[in-house]
Amino acid sequence: MTAFDYDVLYIGSGHGTFDGAIPLAAKGKKVAVVEQDLIGGTCPNRGCNAKIVLDSPVALKRHLEEVHGIVTGDVAINWAANQEHKHEVIAGLPDFIQGLLDSSNVDILFGRGTLVDNHTIKVNGEEKTAENIVISTGLQSNRLDIPGSDLAHDSEEFMNLSEMPARVTVIGAGYIAMEFATMASAAGSEVTVITHGDQALRAYHQPYVELIISELESKGVKFVRGVEVEAIVGGANGLVVRGADLSVDTDWVLDATGRNPNVADLGLEEVGVKYNEKGIEVDDHLRTSVSNIYASGDVIDKTQPKLTPTAIFESTYLMHTFAGETTDAIDYPVIPSVVFTSPRVAKAGITVSEAQANPDKYTVVENDLSGDWYRQVDKETVGKNTLIFDQDHKLVGATEVSNKAEDVINALLPAIEFKFGATELERMVYLFPSIASQAWGQL
Ligand SMILES: Cc1cc2nc3c(=O)[nH]c(=O)nc-3n(C[C@H](O)[C@H](O)[C@H](O)COP(=O)(O)OP(=O)(O)OC[C@H]3O[C@@H](n4cnc5c(N)ncnc54)[C@H](O)[C@@H]3O)c2cc1C
């Protein structure tokens, strides 16, 4: 039998890797991780963690605006201080994660990894072999293929802005576009959002998305919908974003037109790993078209949301597979998702449109949260939720738009995932008063 350098070798060190690689090595497997950039990947360094620090004063500002009169005085976000705070919170994360990898005896190979054959990866000119390889290379920001695209910036550059520009134009309609438009507007920028189609956040309940857009518009954000951006040009007074019948003067452009899988120049074609524009193709064991090469995290072509919890679930599943603890196919749980706008929109399970298309299977209950006494504590002005039940009156889906939508959906998750009936629900005792206690309040 050939002796390999490692049992498992991962390319990429994000959540698609480290949540599984650390316990796998702790179980005695010989594990290595190849990383060309910061340890921990996108989420801790230039995604979730960075963003939520920057969003914290944005959410607080909204709260203070709602209780204005009870709390008095002007509120403004000092973006430079916010940026400094973000740095304090996240700067230590790569070392922290590296410490976890080191202490479990995971080897870290710094450099760009490429496949040489189905058992070999080349890093910095050196070849390392492994019985199994996991490709977990994530996504990178799309760049519009238009004249002047180099004048636009991506989400990472936005999160590193030391000063918020006076005028920001956001191109895109996904969660990054909507969240960053919210932040820029709250930080005092004049914001224009240009969307290619007519809808934003297409995966979410559209009446709730429209509520978010109205809130943003009431704060002065301009939405220009159904426009194809054709060029970005330098002007006498900053930049101009151009399309048919469109000309927006601006200082800074965020290209939030999507994220593409990191599959280029990895040696996938040479080794026979199949992929398409949505990512690497895998079977229900996360195995690629080459039987000992797996994929994990955002780089996979999948229907589940490309988010951190999905990547963690996949890397943990692979850990159990490589440890010989399961041969089962991956069985995804209900994966919730949220957009950190002001207010937020969050969802889990069966969607409203799916339920409405199958009235024989589902009952849809909509609640206007303005009647809920607990929401009035914070003088919350916008809030609705929709609960979806199956024929046995078990909760199978929920979506909410409110300042605390993520907490409400988290509170409902166990019931959706484990299909709680009346007996289990009676045993769900929440702290009172708290937002979780109100998640079921409407029933
Ligand atoms: C702005 C932004 C905000 C986000 N907010 C949220 C959020 O609020 N909640 C949430 O759940 N998710 C959020 N996400 C998504 C989340 O960050 C990803 O789902 C998660 O990071 C996926 O982990 P991953 O390991 O698959 O990929 P990544 O974390 O992207 O890791 C891939 C790693 O592979 C490395 N790599 C690539 N190619 C090579 C190579 N050839 N050799 C060596 N190394 C290589 C990269 O350097 C990178 O470190 C956000 C993403 C962005 C961009």
Question: For 242-277, how does the pLDDT look when each residue is reduced to its tens digit (9 = 90+)?
Answer: 999 999 999 999 999 999 999 999 999 999 999 999
Q: Express as a percent the part of the chain with pLDDT over 70.
A: 99
Give the pLDDT of residue 1: 54
Give the pLDDT of residue 236: 82
Give the pLDDT of residue 441: 58
Give the pLDDT of residue 335: 98
Give the pLDDT of residue 443: 46
Report the atom number in ligand 1 closest to the C-alpha of 38: 49
C-beta of 112 in contact with ligand 1 (< 6 A): yes
C-beta of 261 in contact with ligand 1 (< 6 A): no
C-beta of 156 in contact with ligand 1 (< 6 A): no
Indicate whether this model's pTM tops 0.95: yes
Separation of alpha carbons 236 and 252, rounded Å: 14
C-beta of 157 in contact with ligand 1 (< 6 A): no
**C-beta atoms surrounding 122 within 10 Å:** 16
C-beta of 248 in contact with ligand 1 (< 6 A): no
Spatial CB neighbours of 255, under 8 Å, sequence gap ≥ 6: 141, 142, 143, 144, 149, 152, 153, 154, 171, 172
The domains of the chain, with CATH numbers, are: 6-141+260-322 (3.50.50.60), 149-257 (3.50.50.60), 343-441 (3.30.390.30)
Q: Check if the beta carbon of residue 29 is closer than 8 Å to that of residue 7.
A: yes
Strands (E), 19-154: 31-35, 107-110, 113-117, 120-123, 126-135, 139-141
C-beta of 271 in contact with ligand 1 (< 6 A): no
Q: Check if the beta carbon of residue 248 is closer than 8 Å to that of residue 257.
A: no
Separation of alpha carbons 86 and 254, rounded Å: 20
Q: Check if the beta carbon of residue 49 is closer than 8 Å to that of residue 93.
A: yes
Report the atom number in ligand 1 closest to the C-alpha of 111: 43
Q: Which protein residue has the closest C-alpha to ligand 1 atom 20? A: 308
Report the atom number in ligand 1 closest to the C-alpha of 307: 19
C-beta of 43 in contact with ligand 1 (< 6 A): yes
The kind and range of the H/E element at 232 are: strand 229-235
Q: What are phi and psi of 74, to 5 degrees?
A: -80, 145
Ligand 1 centroid – CA 48 distance (Å):
9
For a substitution probing ligand 1, which of 22, 43, 161, 319 has the most ligand atoms within 8 Å of its CB? Answer: 43
**What's the token pair of residue 381?**
């002005």
Q: What is the pLDDT along the chain (443 residues), one digit of tens a residue?
A: 569 999 999 999 999 999 999 999 999 999 999 999 999 999 999 999 999 999 999 999 999 999 999 999 999 999 999 999 999 999 999 999 999 999 999 999 999 999 999 999 999 999 999 999 999 999 999 999 999 999 999 999 999 999 999 999 999 999 999 999 999 999 999 999 999 999 999 999 999 999 999 999 999 999 999 999 999 999 788 999 999 999 999 999 999 999 999 999 999 999 999 999 999 999 999 999 999 999 999 999 999 999 999 999 999 999 999 999 999 999 999 999 999 999 999 999 999 999 999 999 999 999 998 888 888 899 998 899 999 999 999 999 999 999 999 999 999 999 999 998 878 888 989 999 999 988 875 44
Report the atom number in ligand 1 closest to the C-alpha of 41: 49
Spatial CB neighbours of 22, under 8 Å, sequence gap ≥ 6: 100, 101, 104, 106
Separation of alpha carbons 370 and 413, rounded Å: 23
C-beta of 50 in contact with ligand 1 (< 6 A): no
Q: Which protein residue has the closest C-alpha to ligand 1 atom 12? A: 307
With 0-12 / 13-18 / 19 or more C-beta atoms within 10 angstroms meaning exposed / middle / buried, residue 28 is exposed
